[in-house]
Amino acid sequence: MRGSRILFGSLLLSSALFGQLTLDNVANPHGSEDCGLCHTESSDATAANLKKDVCTQCHSAAAINALIHPIDGVNTHSERISIPSSFKLESDGSLGCLTCHQVACKVNRSNRAFLRGGPYRKELDFCYNCHSKKNYSKMNPHIQVLEDGSVNESTCLQCHVKQPKKDDHPTIANEMQLDMAATCNKCHSLHSHEQNHQGKNIELSKKATVKRFKQTQQRFGVTLPLSEDNLIQCNTCHYTHNRGTLAVDQVVYEGDGENQRFLRLSKENLCYACHDL
């Protein structure tokens, strides 16, 4: 999947800005018989003989920092954080790859990303190893309209670069569109559920998919926004404003109203928005 991403010239721009998580042309060692890819002793691999900086031989730390979780200059002694002792820090006390990732040799489908202590039922449960639930909820930028109907402007800058107003022109949104995944992944590091879609250029996909995508928007009178270069991104499927944040809601509230997952169409209809099954 990562390979196919760089086929599209337009994506080189965002790759240059945010980097690829995995470098080009490296072997996939996870689950491989070649223990020497990560351990210095290939015939007697143990936790003690892991290569130095083993993960960053093939994965870009800068991209991890931008797309998955801040690792540069984070304060591990922050009062808001409490790191369990099984989450080993680097010798200088900073967050390292092995703080959050465990034994990367045994592939376990239910813990694809080798998360320490996994598998987890919800990804947030992993986050709560170090973050407190209470502090995390305080950062929730999805509660934008207060009970009296007024707009809580303090939430907007969690995603926007400049303070937007209700009926600002859509171009204001483009300021974060290039790095949409980074905007959301600041707080959601999910990469598994949209593997088939994230970064796919809809104009280059099957004709039936493109046709259906256009028809759906007309049928429901709703926009499913793509990036400037036609890529599917988080906000193609998710509508992260509340009813009343914008002058015109770009979402169809089906069935019992507000949907928990902020989907633009109900989960039942969302897939048929582009797929004619």
**Closer residue to ligand HEC (CB): 16 or 28:** 28
Question: Judged by CB under 6 A, does residue 211 bind ligand HEC?
Answer: no
Closest approach, Cβ 16 to ligand HEC, in A, equals 18
When binding is defined by CB under 6 A, the residue of 8, 40, 141, 269 that contacts ligand HEC is 141
Closest approach, Cβ 140 to ligand HEC, in A, equals 4
Question: Judged by CB under 6 A, does residue 63 bind ligand HEC?
Answer: no
In angstroms, the CA 82 to CA 84 distance is: 7
In angstroms, the CA 92 to CA 254 distance is: 52
CA dihedral 252, 258, 261, 267 (to 10 degrees): -50
**Closer residue to ligand HEC (CB): 13 or 214:** 214
**Closer residue to ligand HEC (CB): 13 or 211:** 211
In angstroms, the CA 82 to CA 135 distance is: 12
Q: Which of residues 159-188 bind ligand HEC (CB under 6 A)?
A: 159-160, 164, 166, 168, 170, 172-173, 181, 183-188
Question: Judged by CB under 6 A, does residue 235 bind ligand HEC?
Answer: yes
Question: Judged by CB under 6 A, does residue 139 bind ligand HEC?
Answer: yes
When binding is defined by CB under 6 A, the residue of 7, 9, 24, 46 that contacts ligand HEC is 46
In angstroms, the CA 55 to CA 35 distance is: 14
Size of the site for ligand HEC (CB under 6 A): 125
Closest approach, Cβ 257 to ligand HEC, in A, equals 15
Count of other CB atoms within 10 angstroms of residue 271: 11
Closest approach, Cβ 15 to ligand HEC, in A, equals 13
Q: CA 35 from chain center: how many Å?
A: 30
Cβ pair 125, 133 in contact under 8 A: no
Count of other CB atoms within 10 angstroms of residue 122: 9
Question: Judged by CB under 6 A, does residue 198 bind ligand HEC?
Answer: yes
- CA separation, residue 131 to residues 7, 80, 126, 128, 253 (Å): 37, 7, 9, 5, 32
Question: Judged by CB under 6 A, does residue 218 bind ligand HEC?
Answer: no
Question: Judged by CB under 6 A, does residue 5 bind ligand HEC?
Answer: no
Question: Judged by CB under 6 A, does residue 43 bind ligand HEC?
Answer: no
CA-wise closest residue to 236 among 256, 216, 254: 216
Q: Which of residues 65-124 bind ligand HEC (CB under 6 A)?
A: 68-71, 74-76, 78, 80-81, 83, 87, 95, 97-105, 112-114, 122-124
Question: Judged by CB under 6 A, does residue 231 bind ligand HEC?
Answer: no
Cβ pair 224, 264 in contact under 8 A: yes
Question: Judged by CB under 6 A, does residue 45 bind ligand HEC?
Answer: yes
Question: Judged by CB under 6 A, does residue 220 bind ligand HEC?
Answer: no
Cβ pair 155, 40 in contact under 8 A: no
Tokens of 118: 């996994």
**Closer residue to ligand HEC (CB): 61 or 252:** 61
- Count Cβ neighbours within 10 Å for each residue of 87-117 and write b for 16 or more, e otherwise: beeeeeeebbbbbbebebbeeeeebebbbbe
Question: Judged by CB under 6 A, does residue 241 bind ligand HEC?
Answer: yes
